[in-house]
């Protein structure tokens, strides 16, 4: 905006004083400037207010159409303070992975005595003993499959006495997640084998198996879910062999899968359990000075199936000067000799028996004698928490049968490495001891508890499946080892 020049007369004044026209011109410019600023400020305020209204409109639209309100039971009333909000509880998850709160609940069947204590009496009768009035007073006989006794004895006391267990024993089957069937299936085999020829003792393991299945089929909770939520122990590889097809839905507690087909047993469904070690544990210090023997083995030389490797290893190793390899069967005297041999040897040989596993592996671990495992299809207990490569030497069967290979391999192991193996064995030794409070029994129950989510899946899946007859076993799970092993230190 241009200002016109003033035509008024000029008064004489000093050079430093502004003229009247200059003052007028300056005032007009200031008024114009203030007018422009006022208009700009008004426009900015209008824009700001419009933007605020727009944001509020968008928020209201989102809240109305997209926000889902909490259920009434989950909301906090306006009167509640901040402390109340922090106390809201959310569902916990079990260690087994299920969504329920608390430990897995297990109900143990009160089986007829002919499946439990009655078998202890039968064991005594087969060896010349006399009947007793109260079979519950009998002591379970010692053998390598005593796990069935230790699990039974763990669940027998009241729950208040079972401190530190990963599961809860319940007296009401309606509360149970799982059902334990405490049959002494391995002891039954020993009784059967101990019958003197022609004595007519009247005991039959096969008959016991049939009667067990008949009893189970009469139980409401077995029929309810086709046995999926039941746990049955069959530690001896031959235990329940006659009826395993009729109880295979259950979680089977087994030493290995040597006598089971892929559709009968698997690592996903079942639990591998340790043998009960039969020799005394080593209590000395770490070291190799007192262990003069390089490699030790004492056991039955002649076995069937995969155990035939034993005789071949005898032929290769029995002439080695720093190797002790002896034929021996189960007896008190032989156990003492085996205990001394393992405690004074650096390495203990663990070849396959009639099935891939054998009790001397666990004897070796508690003796701090480094296991040398020659069993390509072996499965081992508790491998989710135990790395056997930290304290064992695995040798493929074909390599072990090469003359000189095995002893040459072991002689290369330095003393420091052997001591490292010994320390690793001591760290895990409790997992192979059924008698200590937080030992094998608790670990077996922990493994069983982890199966619960899969069991629930199978129960629900079984309800909708159409039964089909398959020409081949269908194993939709991780089964036993069929791929061999890595032979290395």
3-state secondary structure of 107: strand
Tell me: do 246 and 326 sit in the same domain. no
375 and 415, same domain (yes or no): yes
In this structure, is residue 108 part of a structural domain?
A: yes
Identify the CA nearest to 328 among candidates 338, 317, 314: 338
**Token pair for residue 264?**
């009968």
* Domain extent for 299: 293-432
Assess whether 338 and 228 both reside in one domain. no
386 within some domain = yes
**Whether 145 and 221 share a structural domain:** yes
Q: What is the CATH number of the domain that holds 418?
A: 3.40.50.2000
Q: How far apart are CA 368 and CA 420, in angstroms?
A: 11
Judge whether 66 lies within some domain.
Answer: no
In a domain, 416, yes or no: yes
Residues 380 and 236 in one domain: no
Question: Are residues 243 and 168 part of one domain?
Answer: yes
Would 398 be classed as within a structural domain? yes
Tens digits of pLDDT across the chain (489 residues): 444 333 333 333 344 444 444 444 444 554 444 345 444 445 555 655 666 555 655 554 444 444 444 343 333 333 444 334 333 333 344 444 444 458 999 999 999 999 999 999 999 998 889 999 999 999 999 899 999 999 999 999 999 999 899 999 999 999 999 999 999 999 999 998 755 544 445 789 999 999 999 999 999 999 999 999 999 999 999 999 999 999 999 999 999 999 999 999 999 999 999 999 888 899 999 999 999 999 999 988 887 665 688 999 999 999 998 999 998 777 788 889 999 999 999 999 999 888 888 899 999 999 999 999 999 999 999 999 999 999 999 999 999 999 999 999 999 999 999 999 999 999 999 999 999 989 999 999 999 999 999 999 999 998 887 765 555 555 444 444 445 555 656
3-state class percentages of the chain: helix first, strand second, coil last, to nearest 5: 40, 10, 50
Q: Give CA–CA dist 323/289, Å, rounded.
A: 16
pLDDT in tens, 147-165: 999 999 999 999 999 989 9
For residue 87, being part of any structural domain is answered with no
CA–CA distances in Å: residue 68 to residues 63, 64, 65, 75, 176: 9, 9, 9, 12, 37
> Which of 395, 412, 432 is at the close of a domain?
432
* C-alpha to C-alpha distances, 313 to 320, 345, 398, 403, nearest whole angstrom: 11, 18, 11, 9
Residue 69's SS3 state is coil
Rounded to 5 degrees, φ, ψ at 39 are -65, -40
Give the Cα separation of 27 and 324 in Å (integer): 121
Structural domain tally of the chain?
Answer: 2
Name the pTM for this structure: 0.76
**Same domain as 297, residue 261:** no
Contact between residue 272 and residue 361 where contact means Cβ atoms under 8 Å apart = no
- 108 and 153 share a domain? yes
Distance CA 142, CA 358 (A): 16
Indicate whether 332 and 424 sit together in one domain. Answer: yes
Domain-located, residue 141: yes
* Residue 365 belongs to a domain: yes
Shared domain check, 297 and 259: no
* The 3-state secondary structure of 433-450, one letter per residue: CCCCCCCHHHHHHHHHHC
Asked if residue 410 and residue 315 are part of one domain, the reply reads: yes
* Residues 383 and 246 placed together within one structural domain of the fold: no
| 320-346 per-position pLDDT tens digit | 989 999 987 777 888 899 999 999 999
């Amino acid at each position: 905006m241009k200002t016109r020049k003033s035509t008024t007369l000029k008064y004489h004044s000093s050079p430093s004083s502004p003229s009247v026209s200059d003052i007028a011109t300056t005032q007009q410019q200031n008024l114009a400037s203030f007018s422009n600023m006022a208009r700009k400020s008004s426009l900015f305020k209008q824009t700001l207010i419009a933007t605020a209204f727009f944001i509020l409109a968008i928020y209201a639209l989102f809240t109305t159409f997209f926000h889902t309100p909490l259920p009434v039971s989950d909301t906090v009333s306006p009167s509640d303070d901040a402390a109340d909000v922090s106390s809201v509880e959310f569902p916990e998850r079990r260690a087994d992975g299920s969504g329920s709160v608390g430990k897995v609940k297990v109900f143990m069947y009160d089986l007829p005595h002919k499946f439990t204590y009655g078998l202890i009496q039968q064991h005594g009768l087969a060896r010349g003993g006399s009947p007793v009035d109260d079979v519950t007073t009998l002591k379970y006989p010692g053998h390598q499959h005593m796990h069935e006794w230790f699990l039974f004895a763990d669940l027998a006391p009241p729950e208040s006495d079972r401190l530190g267990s990963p599961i809860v024993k319940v007296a009401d089957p309606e509360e149970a997640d799982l059902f334990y069937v405490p049959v002494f299936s391995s002891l039954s085999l020993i009784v059967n084998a101990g019958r003197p020829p022609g004595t007519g003792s009247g005991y039959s393991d096969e008959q016991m198996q049939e009667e067990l299945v008949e009893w189970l089929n009469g139980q409401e909770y077995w029929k309810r879910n086709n046995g999926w939520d039941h746990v049955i122990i069959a530690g001896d590889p031959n235990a329940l062999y006659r009826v395993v097809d009729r109880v295979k839905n259950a979680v089977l507690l087994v030493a290995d899968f040597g006598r089971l087909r892929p559709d009968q047993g698997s690592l996903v469904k079942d639990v591998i359990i340790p043998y009960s070690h039969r020799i005394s544990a080593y209590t000395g210090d770490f070291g190799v000075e007192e262990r003069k023997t390089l490699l030790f083995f004492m056991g039955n030389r002649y076995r069937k199936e995969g155990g035939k490797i034993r005789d071949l290893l005898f032929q290769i190793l029995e002439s080695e000067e720093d190797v002790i390899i002896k034929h021996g069967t189960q007896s008190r005297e032989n156990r003492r000799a085996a205990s001394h041999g393992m405690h004074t040897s650096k390495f203990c040989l663990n070849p396959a028996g009639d099935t891939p596993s054998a009790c001397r592996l666990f004897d070796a671990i508690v003796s701090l004698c480094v296991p040398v495992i020659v069993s390509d299809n072996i499965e081992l207990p508790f491998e989710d928490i135990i790395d056997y490569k930290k304290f064992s030497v695995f040798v493929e069967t074909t390599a072990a049968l090469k003359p000189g290979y095995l002893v040459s391999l072991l002689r290369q192991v330095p003393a420091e490495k052997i001591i490292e193996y010994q320390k690793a064995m001591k760290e895990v030794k409790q997992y192979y001891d059924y008698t200590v409070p937080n030992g094998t029994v608790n670990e077996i129950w922990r493994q069983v508890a982890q199966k619960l989510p899969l069991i629930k899946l199978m129960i629900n899946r079984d309800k909708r499946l159409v039964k089909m007859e398959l020409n081949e076993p269908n194993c939709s799970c991780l089964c036993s080892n069929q791929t061999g092993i890595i032979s290395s230190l």
